Amino acid sequence: MKMSRRVCGAWALAAVMGALAGGSAEAGGALRLRKLRSVDKQGIGIEAFSLLAPAGWALKGGVYWPLDNPAMPANVAFTVTSPTGFEQFQAFPNYMFFWTNNQMLLANFPAGSKYLGSVVRPVETPVQVLQRVVIPQFRKNVANLRVVGAQPLPNLARQLGAGQQTAPGVRSAATAGKVRLEYQLAAWPMEEELYAVVETHTYPLQTLQGVCTNVSWVASYLFSFRAPKGQLAGNAEKFWVMARSFRPNPQWFNKYTQLVNMLVQRQIQQIRQIGEISRIISRTNDEISDMIMRSYKQRSAVYDRLADQFSQAIRGVDAYYDPTSQGRVELPGGYDRVWSNGLGDYVLTDDANFDPNVDSNQNWTPLRRQ
């Protein structure tokens, strides 16, 4: 089967660009990881989250405050992109929806409208959310878009605690899924894998027409991995590092959780002034409660499980003791030596002669594997 010169050229350029991207992060046979931090400048005013990425990759986006839903006043959306622009890790914003079999309510709030800040929409599977919501919004401008695979992730759904009770009278569940795409970006063939989790909270409500069922549901943990066609698996290790290392700042998460509780209790349907947010934040407590910390740890663990779904074929993970943070850090496994500069950056190498301190103005310290 003959391939056109244009396609052959695209493959060749993608391979070259991929090699160049790897060169910036793997010079001297070492994988260089840098901690990227995002500060919530508009709202709470402190670091919101961080993640590790190969050196040279750029973070764009972060926390933004649409202020149209008291249960989710802020959202997170960002990209981490390689120097070539081809390889990319993207996190999409969460979506909050509402559905009911109360026909009187639906007459006043039909599908597509907003009810208490959430879009009125029948419950959908994670694959349907990706195909009907995320892809049309974020991939509408790419050429020759094709869905080449889609599947639910039932094991992941079970790990998320599907069916666990969160409150008396509320039935909760979680489902997960992924979609694989192929398309052209600037005429070069690309492939991308997108992930989603749908959490539903179903509860009965007594009305004049009898008992109706309401469902609050959220599409969350929406993110994707993109690379030139044929190179997605080869970049799995880098993508795994980014997804698994993503962590909200516990102090930010604590204040945000308290803020949401206050807004919901006050039944604010729309907040028009960021100053009002600031006044409420000033009344939040810096001390993290046990309940908030449990929620934080549960949320953080989901990214680990989603990353595992993508990266089952890579070398695994090793745990190291980082004296700077005085804690454990998980990094890609199989490397003989790991160095830290105390700023959240790491160098991993198999080369016994490689020393990151050479020609460097930073102090790199070897880490001990646990």
Can you give the pLDDT at residue 15? 30
Q: What is the pTM of this model?
A: 0.76
CA 72/CA 368 separation, integer angstroms: 41
Query: Which residues of the chain carry a pLDDT beneath 70?
Result: 1-29, 157, 159-167, 266-317
Find, among 263, 296, 343, the residue nearest to 43 by Cα. Answer: 263
CA 11/CA 227 separation, integer angstroms: 12
Can you give the pLDDT at residue 5? 30
Query: Half-sphere exposure of 221 toward its Cβ, with a 13 Å CA cutoff?
Result: 29
Can you give the pLDDT at residue 89? 96
Find, among 362, 130, 80, the residue nearest to 245 by Cα. Answer: 80
Angle between helices 250-266 and 290-310 (to 10 degrees): 120
Helix, strand, coil share of the chain (percent; to 5) = 30, 35, 35
Can you give the pLDDT at residue 234? 86
Can you give the pLDDT at residue 166? 61
Can you give the pLDDT at residue 18? 34
Can you give the pLDDT at residue 10? 32
Can you give the pLDDT at residue 254? 87
